Amino acid sequence: MATLSYKHYADIYADAVADAARTLARQMDRLSDLNRLTGTQRNDVLHGTAQDDGILGLAGNDTLYGGAGSDFLLGGTGDDSLLGGAGTDFLFGATGNDRLWGQAGQDVLDGGTGNDTLWGGQGNDRLYGFFGNDRLLGEAGNDSLVAGYGNDLLEGGAGRDTLRGDFGDDTLSGGAGNDLLSGGWGADAFVYDGGADRIIDLETGLRADGTATGAPAEHVTIAVDGIDDYADLMAVARQVGGNVVFSFGAGDSLVLEGVPLSQLGASMFDFT
């Protein structure tokens, strides 16, 4: 595989954190211009308007509905449910095990700390899990999913998606469309089930000279009709420069970047 260091992943993750922080800061600056609703220390249900709303849940297990408009929803402490509705929304779970639905529009979802579940919905969304064992589901649109720290599950859904596991033992599934997958630091698993996907950092457990790296080989699940075992897979494999390319027909393919074909083995693949 291509040699990617801990520092490489740390730098990329730091950029993602900085981007999310800048977005959050911009939303906080907008609060004075928004129709503002604030919850209590209890379990609140707050509904936005057709305008641009700023809805703050504070403490408690809250449910926040943005409705129409470009809304800013902040769950606060507790296990919160945030639903953006129509419009370009920013949803921030903060602490707790939160559930965030972007719904329609090009939304930004940030789970914060806790074991969160994020659904992008329609539109080209950005999903950040950050801390905790999170589930990020892009659904429709060309989405960007960034897991952060924890053992996370990322599913791109339809569209041209970018999935980044960052730190932890993550599972990444691009879904339909032409997707880019990076597991990051940890023992990751990848799922291919159609489209023209690229995995940019598959760990084979071997260096270029064939000696062991000490890291476990990562796994790829292949869900393609007619590819039932490793022999079937090797029949559609070829080395193209420094990459392995599997060509499944009808425009479907999987590229393993920086991987010699000779370093692959049957134990690295599952078939469904």
* Residue range 204-245, pLDDT digits in tens: 999 888 899 888 999 999 999 999 999 999 999 999 999 999
Predicted confidence at residue 10, as pLDDT, reads 57
- The H-or-E segment that residue 72 falls in is strand 72-74
If you search the block for the tokens 């990329």, which residue do you land on?
12
Q: Do the beta carbons of residue 268 and residue 213 sit within 8 Å? A: no
Residues forming a β-bridge with 99: 81, 117
Nearest by Cα to 178 from 165, 191, 164, 159: 159
Confidence check: pLDDT of 149 > 90: yes
Residues forming a β-bridge with 64: 46, 82
Q: In whole angstroms, how large is the CA radius of gyration of the chain?
A: 20
User: 116-146: per-residue pLDDT in tens?
Assistant: 999 999 999 999 999 999 999 999 999 999 9
Q: How far is CA 72 from the centre of its chain?
A: 21
If you search the block for the tokens 């049957």, which residue do you land on?
266
Question: To the nearest 10°, the Cα dihedral for 114, 120, 126, 127?
Answer: 20
Residue 180: count of CB within 10 angstroms of its CB:
18
The tokens describing 152, both together, are 């996370």
Going from N- to C-terminal start, the domains of the chain cover: 6-204
Predicted confidence at residue 229, as pLDDT, reads 99
Nearest by Cα to 145 from 129, 159, 134: 129
Q: Do the beta carbons of residue 120 and residue 109 sit within 8 Å? A: yes
User: 5-34: per-residue pLDDT in tens?
Assistant: 555 555 655 666 567 667 666 776 777 778
The tokens describing 149, both together, are 């720290």
Q: Where are the alpha helices (DSSP H) in the chain?
A: 6-30, 230-235
Confidence check: pLDDT of 175 > 50: yes
- The H-or-E segment that residue 270 falls in is strand 269-271
Q: Do the beta carbons of residue 223 and residue 192 sit within 8 Å? A: yes
pTM score of the predicted model: 0.89
If you search the block for the tokens 């597991």, which residue do you land on?
183
Predicted confidence at residue 12, as pLDDT, reads 57
Q: Do the beta carbons of residue 58 and residue 75 sit within 8 Å? A: no
